[in-house]
Structure 1
Amino acid sequence: MTVTTEFVLRSPSLPLVSIPNSIQVDTIESTHALCLQPDVQIFSARFDQDDKVSEEELLDLDEIMEAELVGETSDKTVYRLTVELEESVSQAFEPDFEGVELEPTTVTTEGWHETKVFRDYENFNAFRKSCEDHGISLDLLSISPDPSSSDNQSEDGLTDRQREALTLAISRGYYESPRQVTAEELAQELGISQPSLSTLLRRGERQLIASSLDSQVPLEMVSR
């Protein structure tokens, strides 16, 4: 079951983050292939035409090795940038996480805003751990299973809401020892009360156990 994730990566070592910190631009749209080739140095960067970014400004930055103007669209100026990739970034992306980028990376002074699909939540959690092990923090904004892989109630008996709560709990390290997130923090992310979250997790866990054991014990299904 694939999961769609939205998150922000934060680290001064990330490519292109020096640009909005040094040049008067709010955002950069970039495409890259770090998940496919961890030592990639070529980035496509799109700037708003109103920012009037020049090759000279880009080449003045320490991380930019080459800057080539590719062309312009109705509202964007497109550059092909060759960057000096820091070793920690290459190492963070080195394992095969099978992450597919859905939208271009948005680069701001805060870091990289990305939307990616991963094979499953374990794959995403491995990606997050690799990033954090190499000094790149990951702030998860949202995570959801592929709706095409299950209807309101799938073969394992989980409701969509139970699956969402369990998926978030696992991805945020709730079931790790020691726990990396509290129930209160998870409840805030889901926009529900802590007792409601505890109920979702408890009934979801019970349903999964019963399903895996092929139990015939009747379970009360909830709509939340």
Structure 2
Amino acid sequence: MPNACIVRGEIPADEFALYEALSSLPDVEFEVERIVQSGDEAAMPLMWIRNAPADAVEEAFGRDPSVEELELLSAFDDEQLYRMQWVSEVEMVLQMLTNSEATITDAYGTDGRWYLRVLYPDRDSLSKTVRFAEDNGLTFEVRAIRQLEGEPAGRYGLTEAQFEALETALEAGYYEVPRRTDQSDLADRLEISHQALSERLRRATGALVEDALLVGAVETRRDDS
């Protein structure tokens, strides 16, 4: 049975929607929460905009030809949630959603690049996107591929050693308040040094946070034995 995979990839901003807005707001973070197809030639994202006042964002979007039907849904001190239509520079996105039957779980734009995390039903579907990019003079740089295998570690971007450390720590009460154990005891249980345990827990926590929350973060991580 084919296994789904999660792919981290990059697209240059000048080949993607919101290029004009991204260029005019260089220090602003664009984070897409969801993208769905809207008709045959458009996509509808929900997008968080951070580090810019709402009036500056709306002025920049108003000059961007790839955007229509901008709607402010929520606003906070330094971020806003918008719904909009992407009506140009979305060929790659539509290919992923339709021909490849993929799900774009995250997209993060800043500093001239878009970073995407895409769930593909199998490797063949990913190959369709890669071929589409090559055939149409577009860029989709695949940075990492993670197979969604049955083991819990693989599903969450952890090594087996990292998963074992987290599981042991949780079962021993390390994350309770107050803690029922400490790292010295955990290291003894796992038969590793205190330093090795500390590094393993730190990397495992970072992997979980990145996998669950961040897409524009560090693209590679050294394997933890």
TM-score range, shorter chain: 0.5 to 0.7
What is the count of residue pairs matched by the alignment? 155
- Residue from 138, 141, 165 that aligns with 1:139: 141
Q: AA paired with 2:135?
A: D
Deviations 1:7-45 (A, max 9, x none): 1122524112322211243320123124x9652343322
- Residue from 73, 78, 81 that aligns with 1:78: 81
CA separation of 1:73 and 1:128: change in aligned 2, threshold 3 A? farther
Deviation at 1:92, TM superposition (A): 4.2
Q: Helix, strand or coil: the match of 1:147?
A: coil
Q: AA paired with 2:60?
A: E
Deviations 1:65-100 (A, max 9, x none): 332211124652112223332475577447521212
Deviation at 1:117, TM superposition (A): 1.7
Contact 1:28–1:45 under 8 Å retained in 2? yes
CA RMSD of aligned residues (A): 3.4
Deviations 1:117-172 (A, max 9, x none): 211111111112112322321111111211317999xxxxxxx9xxxxxxxxxxxx
CA separation of 1:115 and 1:78: change in aligned 2, threshold 3 A? same
1:52 correspondence with 2:53? yes
Any runs of at least 4 consecutive aligned residues in structure 1 with deviations exceeding 3 A, and if so which? 86-95, 149-152, 189-192
Deviates more, 1:64-73 or 1:138-147: 64-73
Q: Helix, strand or coil: the match of 1:79?
A: strand
Tell me the residue number matched to 1:43.
45
Tell me the residue number matched to 1:100.
103
Tell me the residue number matched to 1:15.
17
1:62 correspondence with 2:65? yes
Partners of 2:20 and 2:124 in 1: CA distance: 32
Deviations 1:175-197 (A, max 9, x none): xxxxxxxxxxxxxx9989xxxxx
Contact 2:66–2:86 under 8 Å retained in 1? yes
Partners of 1:69 and 1:138 in 2: CA distance: 30
CA separation of 1:56 and 1:89: change in aligned 2, threshold 3 A? same
Partners of 1:109 and 1:132 in 2: CA distance: 24
Deviations 1:191-221 (A, max 9, x none): 89xxxxxxxxxxxxxxxxxxxxxxxxxxxxx
Partners of 2:81 and 2:124 in 1: CA distance: 36
Deviations 1:97-121 (A, max 9, x none): 121233x211224332111221111
Tell me the residue number matched to 1:169.
none
- Residue from 148, 151, 159 that aligns with 2:150: 148
Deviates more, 1:126-135 or 1:71-80: 71-80
Contact 2:17–2:90 under 8 Å retained in 1? no
Q: AA paired with 2:52?
A: D
Contact 2:44–2:84 under 8 Å retained in 1? yes
1:127 correspondence with 2:129? yes
Q: Helix, strand or coil: the match of 1:32?
A: strand
Question: Which runs of no fewer than 5 residues in structure 1 stay unpaired?
Answer: 153-159, 161-188, 193-223
Q: Helix, strand or coil: the match of 2:140?
A: strand
Partners of 1:132 and 1:11 in 2: CA distance: 17
Deviates more, 1:137-146 or 1:25-34: 25-34
- Residue from 99, 112, 115 that aligns with 1:113: 115
